[in-house]
């Protein structure tokens, strides 16, 4: 597990991250979403040590990852981190196999034969068994991303960070990359953190979704909660895409239709939580609980409703 406590970061007097508190659980795809400039990239960079926070703590399974800790502890944690960069960041001068071997050359004491074996296993896991001798320039965008994933898992990391893993990919390839990351996360119990603006990823693999707005943690939920959120900033973010706007409209029409049908069957008015006589429904005049058979979930948690 990765835990962030009261994290803050500024540049030239501009506060980019403000009092961020987060927990990322193992075996789950933990997504961070937000508009460009919201602070999500800075958050990831502080988590992997590319930037140091001005305040707060970052704990990797209870181990403090901060600049004032001993180099041995920082190095030990870095060895347990795998990173998938936005553009793949493959070395064009190296073959696919040598790209996957690269982290092992940096951080492991394995023999050359052991490194090759491990690299081949990782390439096989991402369905690129026969690509080891190719150069990155010979690969499609989706294949480059899969090589980047293979490299990221070569050291058998406990923590996997993915920065916009679907950037520049077509929808079908994006789905394959999402499925691959999700499968690897569950297979190995890795703590996976994904920065994305891809709403398909949010809906399909978002076990936990954290929305960053103006440097603050604004909303939390999962990939299904977000469709029912009433948070105006979330809605503005989602409705920027015409496709997502249509999806929201369709989902809410189905939800409202199901609620009306449920109301007719039970004699309740689902919009108000009352019976036909106008009395509050449920024991002790409490509104009825949500029915799991209906096509909606929770709304997530609104953590910041207004700017201070």
Return the H-helix or E-strand segment holding 284.
Answer: none
Q: What is the pLDDT of residue 113?
A: 95
Whether the per-residue pLDDT at 123 is higher than 50: the answer is: yes
pLDDT at 281 over 60: no
Would you list the domain boundaries of the chain? 2-227, 243-302
pLDDT in tens, 164-182: 998 888 888 999 999 999 9
Q: Which two tokens mark 157?
A: 């990391």
User: Any bridge partners for residue 209, and if so which?
Assistant: 31, 221
pLDDT at residue number 83: 93
Give the pLDDT band (50/70/90) at residue 292: very low
CATH topology of domain 2-227: Rossmann fold (3.40.50)
Whether the predicted pLDDT of 228 surpasses 60? yes
Please choose, from the candidates 230, 282, 228, 233, the residue with its C-alpha nearest in 3D space to the C-alpha of residue 258: 228
User: Which stretch of 147-156, 251-260, 276-285 has the lowest confidence by average pLDDT?
Assistant: 276-285
Q: What is the mean pLDDT of residues 63-67?
A: 85
pTM of the predicted structure, to 2 decimals: 0.81
At residue 265 the predicted structure's pLDDT band, cuts being 50, 70 and 90, is low
Averaged over 193-203, what is the pLDDT? 90
Cα–Cα distance measured from residue 165 to residue 176, given in angstroms and rounded to the nearest whole number? 11
Number of Cβ atoms within 10 Å of the Cβ of 278 = 8
94: left (phi over 0), alpha (psi -120 to 50) or beta: beta
DSSP 56-70: EEEEETTEE--TTS-
Chain-centroid distance of CA 92 in Å reads: 28
Residue 225 backbone dihedrals phi, psi, to 5 degrees: -55, -35
Widest Cα–Cα separation across the chain: 78
Q: Is the pLDDT of residue 267 over 90?
A: no
- Give the confidence band of 271 by pLDDT, cuts at 50, 70, 90: very low
Q: Give the span between the Cα atoms of 262 and 257, in whole angstroms.
A: 9
Q: How far apart are CA 239 and CA 49, in angstroms?
A: 34
């Amino acid at each position: 597990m990765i835990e962030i406590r009261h994290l803050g970061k500024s540049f030239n007097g501009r506060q980019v991250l403000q009092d961020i508190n987060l927990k990322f659980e193992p075996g789950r795809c933990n997504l961070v979403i937000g508009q460009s400039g919201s602070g999500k990239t800075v958050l990831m960079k502080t988590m992997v040590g590319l930037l140091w926070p001005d305040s707060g703590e970052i704990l990797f399974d209870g181990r403090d990852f901060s600049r004032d800790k001993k180099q041995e502890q920082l190095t030990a944690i870095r060895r347990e981190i795998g990173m998938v960069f936005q553009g793949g960041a493959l070395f064009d001068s190296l073959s696919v196999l040598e790209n996957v071997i690269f982290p092992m050359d940096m951080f492991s004491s394995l023999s050359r034969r052991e490194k090759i074996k491990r690299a081949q296993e990782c390439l096989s896991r991402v369905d690129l068994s026969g690509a080891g001798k190719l150069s990155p320039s010979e690969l499609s965008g989706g294949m480059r991303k899969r090589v980047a994933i293979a490299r990221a898992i070569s050291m058998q990391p406990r923590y996997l960070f993915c920065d916009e893993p679907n950037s520049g990919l077509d929808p079908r390839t994006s789905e394959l990359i999402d499925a691959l990351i999700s499968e690897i996360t569950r297979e190995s119990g890795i703590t996976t953190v994904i920065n994305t603006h891809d709403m398909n990823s949010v809906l399909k693999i978002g076990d936990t979704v954290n929305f960053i707005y103006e440097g603050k943690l604004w909303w939390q939920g999962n990939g299904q909660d977000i469709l029912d959120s009433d948070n105006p900033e979330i809605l503005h973010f989602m409705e920027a895409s015409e496709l997502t706007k249509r999806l929201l409209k369709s989902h809410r029409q189905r939800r409202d239709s199901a609620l009306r049908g449920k109301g007719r069957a039970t004699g309740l008015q689902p919009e108000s939580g009352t019976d036909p006589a106008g009395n509050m429904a449920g024991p002790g005049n409490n509104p009825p609980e949500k029915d799991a058979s209906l096509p909606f979930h929770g709304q997530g948690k609104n953590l910041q409703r207004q700017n201070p």
